[in-house]
Amino acid sequence: MAQKSRADIRDGVHSRIRKKVSGTAERPRLAVFRSLNHIYAQVIDDRSGKTLATASTTEKALGTSTGGNVEAAKIVGKTIAERAQKAGISTVVYDRGGYVYHGRVKALIDATREAGLNKHEAAVKESQENSNDEE
């Protein structure tokens, strides 16, 4: 039996996750796609099949010279949060797309929280970190 590549394994994980995660008009899905050179984020309402906001490192407006690093992911996260809020969205369901919550994906998601998306999650995360520090 032939060995699966990392990309094939991630595709399987992604399809299993997509069966469970879906976005609504009230709480759309923020999907993250990561390539070697760029990172992309979309806010999607799965019920109507419409993309509500997008941001990626390929956009000249973001002014990122290189898209394959953590700093660029933070810029994309901040931008997608601003565009989502402009569209009237305050909470989202995060879809990492089978990627581990680490590095560029973590930077993008944390930047969206810092910019104001899912404020309640940021508050819960801070209180958990504070309780861990006290122990």
The Cα 23–Cα 46 span in angstroms is 5
pLDDT in tens, 73-126: 999 999 999 999 999 999 999 999 888 899 999 999 999 999 999 877 766 666
Residues 104, 130, 99, CA angle at the centre, nearest 5°?
20
- Tell the residue number behind the tokens 């070697």, with chain if given: 36
Q: What are the chain's domains? A: 8-127 (3.30.420.100)
Q: Which tokens belong to 106?
A: 């973590």
Give the DSSP per-residue string, 76-114.
HHHHHHHHHHHTT----EEE-TT--SSTHHHHHHHHHHH
pLDDT of residue 53: 96
DSSP code for 68? S
d(CA 88, CA 91): 10
C-alpha separations of 85 from 26, 62, 128, 135 in Å: 12, 17, 26, 37
Percent of the chain whose pLDDT exceeds 70 = 90
| pLDDT reported for residue 11 | 85
